[in-house]
Amino acid sequence: MAAEFDTAHVKNIVLLGHAGSGKTTLAECLLFEAGLISKRGTIAEGNTVGDYHDLEKERGNTIFSKLMHTRWRGYKINIIDTPGYDDFAGDVLSALRVSDTGIMLLNASMGVEVGTDVIWQYTERFKTPMIFAVNHLDNEKADFDATVKEAKQHFGNNITVVQYPLNQGEGFQSIIDVLRMTMYKFKDAGGKPEKLPIPDEEKSKADELHKLLVEAVAGNDETLMEKYFDKGELDEEDIKAGMKKAMINHDIFPLFCISAEHNMGGGRLMGFIDNVCPSANEMPPQISVKGEEIHCNPGGKVCAFIFKATSEPHVGDLSFLKVYSGTLKAGMELINETTGVAEKINQLFVVEGNKRIAVNELTAGDIGATLKLRNTHVNNTLHEKNTGYELKPIVFPLSNISIAISTLKKGEEEKLANALHQLREEDPTIEIEVSQELKQTIISCQGDMHLAVIKWKLEHQYKVDVVFSETKIPYRETIRTAAEAVYRHKKQSGGAGQFGEVHMRIEPWYEGMPDPEGLNVRGRDTHELPWGGKLVFYNCIVGGAIDQRFLPSILKGVMEKMQEGPLTGSYVRDIRVSVFDGRMHPVDSNDISFKIAGLMAFKNAFRLAAPQLLEPIQHVEVLCPENITGAVMGDLQTRRALVEGLTTEGNFTKIIARVPLAEMYDYASSLRSITQGRAKFKMNFHEYCPVPFEMQRKLSDAYSKVDKEEVVG
C-alpha cells in the first residue's frame, strides 16, 4: 500500500477560533461532505468524530487537538481541529506549526472574541495563510457586516469578502459568492446547494464586492494588474492563482460564510481548499536551526518533525509527525537530531479522530502518526543519516497558574510522580517542580480548565486520586537595622561537655557597603545564596578568642538558620554577619557547640534587627474587552495591585500591573468568572518587596505557633 497521494495533492488545514465558534461542528460537515462519514454527529449528542474523548463529551468542548483526513476530488486534506479555550493553546500552536492553511471561525453573533485575537497572534508567528469563515449565520443575532467590520479592525484590510449571506438569522439559507458570481441556495438540511443567478436587487452589491476582490488579487501581482487594466476583469483561473500567491504572502485573507450546524457552506469551502489553498510544497521551505533550506520534496532525504504525542487508552500511544522532506516509509531507521538516538519507524498511520489506519509511507508534506517512540519527544526532528537536519521547535506558552499537588492516599507518591512525568511528556505546557523550599510538588499549567483536565487524566487514566492545595508563597526574610547578640552554648551531661560562645553583629547587606565600624576585620567571604541575595561573612575575632577552625562551624550554624528564617521559616537573604568575639573551653569546645552557638546568636540578633518579610511581586498583564475593563480593574484593586499602565489594543484594553503573588492564587478562575472567559492574562516574577506590617505580623505569629509546636514535639 503505497501513498495514494503525491505531495502536490496533500493539503494541511487547521481549524481555529474562540471556543464555541463551531470548529468541531464544521469538521463534521467537511468529513460528511467528503463522504467519510454517513451521518453528521453533533456536539449535543456527543457523537462527533473530533470530540470523542469522554471528557470532551462531558464538557461539550474540544480539549485536545484532533487529526482527521478527508479525500476530496483527488486531494488528501488533513484537518486538525483545535480547542478554542486558551488553556489549551499548546495544541493550537503545535497544529499551526504543521498546517499550511488556517481557517479562523468567527461567530456572527459575537464578532471578534478574545480567543480570536489571541489565536491570531499565534498565527502571525507562523505566517500561516488564513481563511476567515463567518459561522452561526443562522443565529437570530447574527450580524455579518458588524463581524466583518470588527475583523478588519483587528486583523486589517487584507480580509477580502468572497461571500456574504443573503438572509442571515433564522431561516438563513442563501450565500452570494462574489468570486463565482453565483448564489448558493441550501435546503433546510444543508448539503449540496442549488446554484442560482444572483437576484437583481443584490447585483450591484455583488458587483461592487467582486470588483474589490479582483482588485485585491490584481493589486498583489503586476502581471495580473496589467491584465486587469487591459480587460477590466480577470478570469477565474487568474483569480485563483493570484489569490493563492497573495494568501501565502499574507496579502489576502479570503472570507467565507457558513452555518456549520446546518451544514451550509462547507462544501464550497472544501472546493476552495483544493482549488486555491497552497499545498505543502507550495509553501516557502523550512529553514532549519542551522539555516539550511529544507524543501518539501518527496525525492529528498527524509526529515520529519514530531509535533504532538498522545497516550490514550483506546487510541494508544502515538507520536504525531509531519514529513517535511522525502518519503517516510515504515521500517525506516531515522536519527533523532536532538538526542542522537536512532529510531526505527516500525509502523505508520493516517489518523481519523480516534481511528488509525496503517499505511506504508507518508510523502513529503503529509501528516500522520507512529507508535510512540521511546526516545523521541515533541519538538524533536528525525532525519535520514548524514543530513543532520534540525527543525525549529514550537515555542510553547509559559504557565499561568501554579498549584500544589499531592496524593489522596499515602504511599502513592511514586505513582503520582510517574504519572506527572507521562503527562508532561504529552503536554509541554505543563511544568512540574518538586520544591525543596516549599516542600511541595508544584504543577504549573495554563489555567483552571487545564488543571481540571490534568486531574481527570490522573484519576481516570493513571488511577491516582489527587488533591490540590494552595502553593505556599516563597517569602524571603531580611533585616532593616544592625543588631548584636551573644550566645553561649553549654552542656554538661556526664561525659564530654559542649561549650561555645559567639558574639555576633548582623547588618542589612547592600552592594558597596563599607567594612563594619569599630571591628578589626581579619577575613571576609561572600556567599551567593541559591535562593537569591547574599550572605557576607566577616571574621573580626581578636586575640584568638575563638580558634580559626571553629569559624566554618559558626558559618554552618548561620547558614542553617538562613534556610529556615527566624520570622516565618522562609529563606533569609542579604545579611552581613561579623563574628567579633567569643569564648572557648579547652576540652568541651567542638564543631557542634560552635554551630549551635552561631545559629542561636544569629537567630537572636535577627529578632533584634527589625526583621522584614519580603514577598514576590508579579508582573501581570491582562487583556480584556474594553467594556469590562472597570470590573477587571476593580478586582485587581482588591489584590493590592499597583496598576502601571492601561493601553488600548483594538477593542481590547491591556492592563499592566504589579501584584503580590500571594494575591494571585485564584486569579485565573476569578478572571474567567468576571469576564465570562473573555479575558486573558499572563504573569511572571518581577521582584521581592516588603510585606505590609500587619500581614507580616500575622504570618510571623502563625509561624511562631508552628515553630513552638515543633520544638515541643
Residues that bind Mg ion (CB under 5 A): 23-24, 62
Q: From the list 61, 325, 370, 653, which residue makes contact with ligand GTP (rule: CB under 6 A)? A: 61
Query: Of the two residues 576 and 678, which places its CB atom closer to Mg ion in the complex?
Result: 678
111 binds ligand GTP (CB under 6 A): no
**Count of residues that interact with ligand GTP, criterion CB under 6 A:** 22
Minimum separation from the CB atom of position 573 to Mg ion (A) = 48
From the DSSP assignment, how many helices (H) and strands (E) are in the chain?
A: 16, 38
Query: Of the two residues 23 and 69, which places its CB atom closer to Mg ion in the complex?
Result: 23
Q: From the list 78, 99, 101, 135, which residue makes contact with ligand GTP (rule: CB under 6 A)? A: 135
Site for ligand GTP in 320-359 (CB under 6 A): none
Query: Of the two residues 107 and 700, which places its CB atom closer to ligand GTP in the complex?
Result: 107
CA 19 vs. chain centroid, Å, equals 16
- Say if residue 169 is exposed, middle or buried (CB neighbours under 10 Å; 0-12, 13-18, 19+): middle
Q: From the list 3, 17, 80, 267, which residue makes contact with ligand GTP (rule: CB under 6 A)? A: 17
| Pure H helices in 6-78 | 23-33, 54-59
Minimum separation from the CB atom of position 339 to ligand GTP (A) = 34
Residue of this chain nearest to ligand GTP (CB atom): 84
From the CB of residue 351, how many other CB atoms can be counted at a distance below 10 Å?
21
SS3 assignment, position 16: strand
Minimum separation from the CB atom of position 138 to ligand GTP (A) = 5
135 binds, among ligand GTP, Mg ion, none (CB under 5 to 8 A by kind): ligand GTP
21 binds, among Mg ion, ligand GTP, none (CB under 5 to 8 A by kind): ligand GTP
Strands 367-371 and 381-383 come out as unpaired
193 binds ligand GTP (CB under 6 A): no
Query: Of the two residues 42 and 47, which places its CB atom closer to ligand GTP in the complex?
Result: 42
- Say if residue 649 is exposed, middle or buried (CB neighbours under 10 Å; 0-12, 13-18, 19+): exposed
259 binds ligand GTP (CB under 6 A): yes
Q: From the list 34, 37, 43, 103, which residue makes contact with ligand GTP (rule: CB under 6 A)? A: 43
663 binds, among Mg ion, ligand GTP, none (CB under 5 to 8 A by kind): none
Minimum separation from the CB atom of position 530 to Mg ion (A) = 45
260 binds ligand GTP (CB under 6 A): yes
SS3 assignment, position 182: strand
19 binds, among Mg ion, ligand GTP, none (CB under 5 to 8 A by kind): ligand GTP
Minimum separation from the CB atom of position 473 to ligand GTP (A) = 34
Q: Distances from the Cα of 236 to the Cαs of 175, 233, 271, 423, in angstroms?
A: 19, 10, 13, 49
CA-closest candidate to residue 260, choices 331, 196, 172: 172
What is the Cα–Cα distance from 580 to 598, expressed in whole angstroms? 12
308 binds ligand GTP (CB under 6 A): no
446 binds ligand GTP (CB under 6 A): no
Minimum separation from the CB atom of position 24 to ligand GTP (A) = 3
What is the Cα–Cα distance from 504 to 597, expressed in whole angstroms? 10
What is the Cα–Cα distance from 252 to 243, expressed in whole angstroms? 7
What is the Cα–Cα distance from 91 to 697, expressed in whole angstroms? 45
22 binds, among ligand GTP, Mg ion, none (CB under 5 to 8 A by kind): ligand GTP
- Can you name the residues that pair with 286 across neighbouring β-strands? 294
567 binds ligand GTP (CB under 6 A): no
Minimum separation from the CB atom of position 31 to ligand GTP (A) = 13
Query: Of the two residues 23 and 372, which places its CB atom closer to Mg ion in the complex?
Result: 23
20 binds, among ligand GTP, Mg ion, none (CB under 5 to 8 A by kind): ligand GTP
Q: From the list 12, 62, 400, 446, which residue makes contact with ligand GTP (rule: CB under 6 A)? A: 62
165 binds, among ligand GTP, Mg ion, none (CB under 5 to 8 A by kind): none
- Can you name the residues that pair with 443 across neighbouring β-strands? 403, 432
* Stretch near ligand GTP under the rule CB under 6 A, chosen from 42-50, 188-196, 386-394, 608-616: 42-50
139 binds ligand GTP (CB under 6 A): yes
CA-closest candidate to residue 120, choices 77, 87, 151: 151
Minimum separation from the CB atom of position 354 to ligand GTP (A) = 16
Q: From the list 9, 11, 23, 678, which residue makes contact with ligand GTP (rule: CB under 6 A)? A: 23
User: Taking a C-beta distance cutoff of 8 angstroms, is the pair 159, 148 a contact?
Assistant: yes
Minimum separation from the CB atom of position 31 to Mg ion (A) = 14
Q: From the list 8, 36, 42, 46, which residue makes contact with ligand GTP (rule: CB under 6 A)? A: 42
Q: From the list 5, 20, 405, 502, which residue makes contact with ligand GTP (rule: CB under 6 A)? A: 20
The set of cell numbers assigned to 568 is 516565618
User: Taking a C-beta distance cutoff of 8 angstroms, is the pair 502, 594 a contact?
Assistant: yes
9 binds ligand GTP (CB under 6 A): no
* Stretch near ligand GTP under the rule CB under 6 A, chosen from 92-100, 256-264, 456-464, 657-665: 256-264
Q: Which pairs from 222-231 meet CB under 8 Å and 24+ separation?
A: none
Q: Distances from the Cα of 430 to the Cαs of 419, 444, 453, 458, in angstroms?
A: 12, 6, 11, 13
Strands 328-329 and 361-362 come out as antiparallel
* Stretch near ligand GTP under the rule CB under 6 A, chosen from 38-46, 380-388, 467-475, 491-499: 38-46
84 binds ligand GTP (CB under 6 A): yes
CA 52 vs. chain centroid, Å, equals 23
47 binds ligand GTP (CB under 6 A): no
Secondary structure (DSSP) of 623-673: EEEGGGHHHHHHHHHTTT-EEEEEEEETTEEEEEEEEEGGG-TTHHHHHHH
Place of cell 536551526: 289
The set of cell numbers assigned to 159 is 480580509
92 binds, among Mg ion, ligand GTP, none (CB under 5 to 8 A by kind): none
Going by C-beta distance under 8 Å and a sequence separation of 6 or more, which residues neighbour residue 474? 435, 437, 438, 531, 570, 571, 616
Minimum separation from the CB atom of position 88 to ligand GTP (A) = 8
What is the Cα–Cα distance from 609 to 479, expressed in whole angstroms? 6
Site for ligand GTP in 454-483 (CB under 6 A): none
Backbone angles phi, psi at 628, to 5 degrees: -115, 15
Query: Of the two residues 11 and 136, which places its CB atom closer to ligand GTP in the complex?
Result: 136
220 binds ligand GTP (CB under 6 A): no
| Pure H helices in 170-313 | 200-218, 222-231, 236-248, 266-275
Interface with ligand GTP (CB under 6 A) = 17, 19-25, 42-44, 61-62, 83-84, 135-136, 138-139, 259-261
